[in-house]
A and B are shown apart, each in its own frame.
Chain A
Amino acid sequence: MQDLIQHLINGLSLGSIYALIALGYTMVYGVLQLINFAHSDIYMMGAFASYYVSRWFNFEAHPGIVTLCMALLASMTACALIGVAVERFAYRPLRGSPKINILITAIGVSLFLQFGAQLIFGPNPKAFPTLIEDVALIETEFIVLKSLEVTVFVITLLALGVLHFLVYKTKFGKSMRAVSHNINTASVLGINVNKVIVLTFIVGSALAGVGSVLVGLKYPKIEPLMGVMIGLKGFVAAVFGGIGNMTGAVIGAMIMGLSEEFVVAYLSSTLRDALAFGLLIGILIWKPSGLLGKNTVEKV
């Protein structure tokens, strides 16, 4: 029973990271009907950005909230910039092309970022710096809750909160929802569609940037291919919850995180990755539009 609670904490922690990534996929798909394969690699770039910034300014010597925020800022900025660049130079020229062409381009961008990173940063894993002290808040015989885990939760909730505000309480959010409903009608109504798309990429990529710093804190090993598996799982979570639906993405991610934790704990670690694809195939066969249906960007 006691390890059950610990497993729950672990699973939710895993799930919240998947959620940050899944949201990026789902938002871009909502406005462009495009699976942004490069999303996972933008995420990876964020981790490296904050790694190098932390190294240059020697953050590890002053762990704390301030350095953490600066690292997050570095990561989010890098991700947003790369996201915008990818949209501008790889996806925009192909707007209106057959789906298969766009998909191939997306794969091309993803691989380009992965192997470009290998070339620039070197293919060996790097140790992500400790940006925040990990003290035990609850340490009973049964469960251990340390400040790092709590920080991850808090930051995720903050990010989701900001996102919710952005999408439902601002004009930009309204335009984004309009574009994902019907891009042509939205443009007829005077919405600058290109601007909305760029902003969507910025927000989605920035979220991934947050996720990558949190992952770097939890699993201090970063390497150019770190986005592949987690990106795939984030994508599956988004599809599982209903691609285009933000609430669905979060729910799907939580379900994925929890089931992964329990499968590894009670069944076998080898099923860890297969689970993601099992969920994917399952949902596609049973309810292809995902748990929360084919709704556009809505409730969080």
Chain B
Amino acid sequence: MKFLVSFLLSLSLVSLTACTKNTNELVIGEFASLTGNEATFGQSTNKGIRMALDEINAAGGIKGKKVKLITYDNQGKNDEVASVVKRLITQDKVLAIIGEVASARSEVAAHIAQQYKVPMISPSSTSPKVTAVGDYIFRVCFIDPFQGKVMAKFMIEHLKLKKVAILRDVKNQYSVGLADVFSKEVTSRGGEVLTDVSYQGEDVDFKAQLTQIKSKNPEAIFIPGYYGEVALITNQARQLGIKSVFLGGDGWDSNDLVKNSKKAANGSYYSNHYSTESTDPKVQDFIQKYKGKYSEVPDAMAALGYDAAKIMTAAMERVTEMTPEQIKNEIAKTKDFPGVTGNITLNDQRDAVKSAVVVQIADDARKFIINIAP
């Protein structure tokens, strides 16, 4: 009995200390994959968000109050997402949440955010299931039903290739969705999907699947996965003597891809949210400031994180009363927002309707090839 009493006492003490709240700050929560297989996703997004919030705070904050960002690492694991998001909401009492890149993890978080009625903006999750969870969930990027068609259209019309093999990550909702859309679009445009094989996220050996693909002799291979596995896949494909061109989606966007693939990824194409070669002064301004602050070129995740943070703070500026519900209402009204990744308007499904760019990998640079509108 004594144990129980003292234990409960200490618990209540802990809860008391945790209850301090600085009412002069507006707290926003972030959950991200800062470590793990997709570490650059979270790290880049985080840098973009922090840069945006630093700019806001330097200009006086929102309604005179500074914005504070609390970030938790979900380590690239779906299971950690639930506990960190719950902690953000129940313990840190955030007003709103930004996160994540990986669609599966965003979906988990979305359920919790919707349940507790806290608005959430995903900067880069492209699976339609994320915003479908409820009216508190938004995103500032395009969705896979569009993205899948982009690469199919690019392959058939621009590269003029018809025979493609698909290698999808069956453990990844994003990959599966993107692969399905691509496959259907290719077929409807007169192309041919020679074979559709799968791997599992975190696999390291793909020789079996690649040998199967090689035997069908495709002109292109579509790999709608995350950069960690894509690096190994492209490397092993070249080891097996496969000469096909590689195509991918925004999951490829990482500065680690080329290095980890031992340059095998060079020459490949993938669809992305923005191009560093854009002539838009807003974009170049953003890139310069980012380079000055972090000594590296921002990838699409950083740019989207930046836009997401800016959209959220813009909404917070518009509310009459700083409550999660009002913030939610204002975010929903986002229209023609001049983002770094393009003009952002949120539609009825709370998705952004934007164009995609197709880039080609040339070592650390991404050559802009073409812009494809929805």
Interface residues, chain A, CB within 8 Å of chain B?
2-3, 6-7, 10, 14, 122-125, 127, 130, 134, 136, 139, 144, 146, 148, 218-221, 226, 260-262, 264-265, 268-270, 272
Contacts and interface: CB of A to CB of B under 8 A. Distances in A.
A215 B232 CA distance: 12
9 contacts: A10-B207, A123-B35, A127-B256, A127-B260, A134-B239, A146-B239, A148-B239, A265-B211, A265-B212
A124 B37 CA distance: 6
B35 A219 contact: no
A87 B241 CA distance: 45
A25 to B, nearest CB: 20
Contact of A219 (B170, B204, B209, B214): B204
Most buried by B among A125, A136, A268: A125
Contacts of A123: 35-36, 39, 75
B363 to A, nearest CB: 14
Interface in B239-275: 239-241, 256, 259-260, 262
Given A220-B262, A265-B209, 16 more contacts: A2-B215, A6-B211, A125-B260, A127-B259, A134-B239, A218-B205, A220-B260, A221-B232, A221-B260, A261-B207, A261-B208, A269-B198, A269-B199, A269-B200, A270-B171, A272-B203
Interface string B142-185: 00000000000000000000000000001100000000000000
Which of A139, A146, A219, A272 is packed against the most chain B CB atoms within 10 Å? A219
B289 to A, nearest CB: 26
A269 B36 contact: no
Contacts of A262: 208
- 6 closest cross-chain pairs (CB), A and B: A264-B208, A144-B241, A265-B208, A219-B204, A123-B35, A10-B207
A14 B205 contact: yes
B212 A3 contact: yes
A63 to B, nearest CB: 12
A256 B232 CA distance: 22
A13 to B, nearest CB: 8
B228 interface: yes
A264 B42 CA distance: 31
Nearest to A126: B260
B326 interface: no
Given A6-B240, A144-B241, A261-B208, A270 B231 contact: no
Contacts of A221: 204, 228, 231-232, 260
Contacts of B236: 219
Contacts of A261: 207-208
Point out which of A123, A130, A261 has the most chain B C-beta atoms below 10 A from its C-beta. A123
B215 to A, nearest CB: 5
Contact of B208 (A7, A124, A148): A7
Contacts of B205: 14, 218-219
Contacts of B75: 123
Contact of A270 (B35, B170, B228): B170
B235 interface: yes
Contact of B200 (A144, A218, A270): A270
B362 interface: no
B232 to A, nearest CB: 6
B211 A272 contact: no
